[in-house]
């Protein structure tokens, strides 16, 4: 049986009256009349079937039922207030919305974003991740998107952010345990970590390096590149690394490059937007900062 929740204004009146132990003070806080607060409390008591306050000559006192109910009500009102402020507290002109490819955010943008905040502390960013996107359009809720592809999306402008080479990577322990892994010919004996939806995957790399006789479908398949890279770092197989995404993991010793064979990628990460989206008052600041970071790579 579905329980009917009391109206929110009744709940707010109860929470305020319980805090102040006064209908008068609750009314002042809520910008209501004392009579309105009293009436809402009576409505709440009627619905829950219990008296919540003792009406005393010098004020109010919570009944045992009211005392039991208050913590849950207070927490709910507080959480709703916090969530409302966090999600809707910034005006549309203040908040710059950027939807970012997940692996690009974690491996490239996240380590650099503090630099943007230091330069522009007045600009508030909302960063959301995308895994699968509608290739035809960007959401009206986003000022920018960072996508992976070939840079051609109908009616959208794009700035290229990466120029990568594509090559196998694995963990140092994986290479030590698999001493037979010396050339690409040896890949047929090991698990390959695939990413669904990437045109330049294992089949492409094997063909471009003249090893297309090796079966490319063996191993695991994942829906994000970041998962494949993390699995490679955990010693679960070999992933295809893109220069911009694995440089730091290689420097940190989490990944190694077992072969010298590398190919240049046609796909890349792009900053994507429409002309109208780029009109956000802070859009050009973010775009210029991002392109400056790219130029330093």
* Residue 2 belongs to some domain of the structure: no
- Residue 83 has what pLDDT? 85
Confidence of residue 180 (pLDDT cuts 50, 70, 90): confident
Give me the number of domains the chain comprises. Answer: 3
Looking at residue 23, what is its pLDDT?
94
For residues 76 and 101, state if they share a domain.
no
Q: Could you give the percent of the chain with pLDDT greater than 90?
A: 72
What is the mean predicted confidence (pLDDT) over 216-226? 89
Give Cα separations from 137 to 32, 57, 191, 224, 235 (angstroms): 47, 66, 36, 21, 38
Residue 216 pLDDT: 79
CATH classification at residue 68: 1.10.10.10
Same domain, 101 and 237: no
252 and 222 within one domain? yes
Last residue of a domain, one of 88, 121, 149: 88
Digit-coded pLDDT (tens) for 255-269: 999 999 999 999 999
Is the residue at 3 inside a domain? Answer: no
Q: Is residue 144 in some structural domain?
A: yes
Tell me, what DSSP letter sits at residue 256?
B
The mean pLDDT value for 25-29 works out to 95
89: pLDDT strictly greater than 80: no
Asked if residue 214 and residue 142 are part of one domain, the reply reads no
- 77 and 61 part of one domain: yes
- Which one of 34, 67, 88 terminates a domain? 88
Whether 225 maps to a domain, the answer reads: yes
The residues, any chain, with a CB within 8 Å of residue 19's CB and separated by 6 or more, are 26, 74
Rounded distance between C-alpha atoms, residue 103 and residue 267, angstroms:
14
Same structural domain, 233 and 110: no
Task: Kindly report, residue by residue over 182-206, the tens digit of the pLDDT.
Answer: 999 999 999 999 998 888 999 999 9
226 and 248 housed in the same domain: yes
Identify whether 49 is part of a domain. Answer: yes
In a domain, 1, yes or no: no
What confidence tier does 82 reach under pLDDT thresholds 50, 70, 90? confident
Q: pLDDT of 117-141, one tens digit each?
A: 999 999 999 999 876 555 555 556 7
Q: Mean pLDDT over residues 74-79, rounded?
A: 92
- Of 88, 122, 153, the residue at which a domain comes to its end is 88
258 and 169 housed in the same domain: yes
How far apart CA 72 and CA 79 sit, in angstroms, is 11
Q: Is residue 122 part of a domain?
A: yes
Least confident of 15-19, 97-101, 198-202, 213-217: 213-217
User: Range of 43's domain?
Assistant: 8-88
Q: What is the pLDDT of residue 130?
A: 78
Q: Looking at residues 42-49, what average pLDDT do you find? A: 95
Binning pLDDT at 50, 70 and 90, where does residue 229 land?
Answer: very high
pTM of the model: 0.69
Q: Could you tell me if 284 and 161 are in contact, meaning their C-beta atoms sit under 8 angstroms apart? A: no
The answer on pLDDT for 237 being more than 60 is yes
CATH code of residue 193 = 3.40.190.10
Q: Let me know whether 175 and 254 are in one domain.
A: yes
Q: CA-to-CA distance for 195 and 217, rounded, in angstroms?
A: 11
Query: How would you write 28-97 as a 3-class SS string?
Result: HHHCCCHHHHHHHHHHHHHHHCCCCEEEECCEEEECHHHHHHHHHHHHHHHHHHHHHHHHHCCCCCCEEE
> Quick one: 219 and 74 in the same domain?
no
Q: Are residues 278 and 153 in the same domain?
A: yes
- Strand, coil or helix: 252: coil
CA distance 132 to 80: 31
Question: Is 30 inside any structural domain?
Answer: yes
Residues 187 and 218 in one domain: yes
């Amino acid at each position: 049986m579905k329980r009917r929740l009391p109206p929110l204004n009744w709940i707010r009146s109860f929470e305020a009256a319980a805090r102040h132990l006064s209908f008068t003070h609750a009314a002042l806080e809520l910008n209501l009349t004392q009579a309105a607060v009293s009436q809402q409390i009576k409505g709440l008591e009627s619905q829950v079937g219990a008296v919540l306050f003792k009406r005393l000559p010098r004020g109010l006192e919570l009944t045992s039922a009211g005392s039991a109910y208050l913590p849950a009500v207070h927490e709910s009102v507080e959480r709703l207030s916090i969530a409302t402020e966090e999600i809707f507290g910034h005006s549309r002109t203040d908040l710059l919305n950027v939807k970012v490819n997940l692996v690009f955010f974690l491996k490239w943008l996240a380590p650099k974003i503090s630099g943007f905040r230091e330069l522009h502390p007045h600009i508030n960013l909302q960063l959301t991740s995308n895994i699968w996107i509608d290739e035809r359009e960007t959401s009206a809720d986003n000022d920018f998107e960072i996508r992976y592809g070939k840079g051609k999306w109908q009616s959208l402008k794009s700035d290229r952010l990466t120029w990568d080479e594509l090559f196998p990577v694995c963990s140092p322990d994986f290479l030590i345990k698999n001493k037979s892994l010396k050339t690409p010919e040896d890949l047929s004996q090991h698990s390959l970590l695939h990413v669904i939806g990437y045109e330049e995957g294992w089949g492409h790399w094997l063909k471009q390096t003249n090893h297309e006789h090796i079966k490319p479908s063996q191993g695991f398949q994942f829906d994000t590149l970041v998962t494949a890279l993390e699995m490679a770092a955990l010693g679960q197989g070999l992933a295809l690394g893109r220069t911009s995404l694995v440089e730091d993991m290689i420097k940190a010793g989490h990944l190694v490059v077992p072969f010298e064979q590398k190919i240049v990628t046609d796909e890349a990460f792009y900053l994507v937007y429409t002309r109208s989206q780029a009109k956000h008052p802070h859009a050009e600041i973010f775009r210029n900062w991002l392109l400056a970071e790219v130029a330093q790579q």
